[in-house]
Amino acid sequence: MAEICNTITKNITSADCPRPGGLNRRSWVFLLSMLTGAFTYNGTTGALSGFSIVAGQKGIKGMGRPKKGSGASTGTQAENGSFQVEQTLIQQFGFKNQLELNALTDFLKAGGKVVFQELNSGAIRVYFKEFGNETGTGEEGSGETLNADNGIMTTTLKGFEPEFPTFFEAPITAGETQLAASRAYLDALCVA
């Protein structure tokens, strides 16, 4: 698994936003099998605030195109009282060569992904936390115009979970913003 993580980390790059405003949206991806131990939660906000992964393993960090992705969740209560949420996460990644396209393909092939997705609002949401994603698709194209300097892969991950995507808020140290603390926490668990 380490080969896939290294390949994705070193080869996926972000296309800059073609319009003013916004930041490159970060995502941090872990395999469900990498997560170990109990989750911790913020006592004030209820957000997920900590977790650990198997020693020696690392997640991957991706930079997606800003304002070109979305998340959606639909909760359904069955007649017997059971409840499930279909979570969907869509993100776009740029690629400029075969190695980067191969890295995206490997990313899609890996099952059971748990994704921490940064939103334009500065919040981070956790998708597929309990069971990992169940399906994924990738749609590849030349971008918005044929003369774009790279290709675009639109990835769509789906999965059924017992709850809506959770917020993530890492513990804050003095003088640190919530977003900076959360980014640093997740970056430390990913391949540099």
Q: Could you read off the pLDDT of 32-50 as tens digits, one per residue?
A: 999 998 999 999 999 999 9
- At residue 18, the pLDDT reads 40
Residues of the chain with pLDDT under 70: 1-24, 64-68, 142-150, 192
State residue 95's pLDDT score. 80
pLDDT of residue 143: 58
- Chain mean position to CA 52: 17
Q: Do the strands 124-127 and 113-118 form a parallel or antiparallel pair, or are they unpaired?
A: antiparallel
- H or E segment and range at residue 187: helix 178-188
What is the rounded CA–CA span in Å between residue 138 and residue 152? Answer: 10
- What is the per-residue pLDDT for 78? 84
pLDDT of residue 175: 87
Which residues on neighbouring strands pair with residue 36, listed in sequence order? 52
Q: List phi, psi (to 5°) of 89.
A: -130, 125
What is the model's pLDDT at position 5?
44
Cβ–Cβ contacts within 10 Å for residue 49, how many?
Answer: 21
Which of 58, 167, 163 is CA-nearest to residue 121? 167
* CA-wise closest residue to 104 among 27, 180, 184: 27
For residue 68 the two structure tokens come to: 């070109």
Tokens of 141: 């194209």
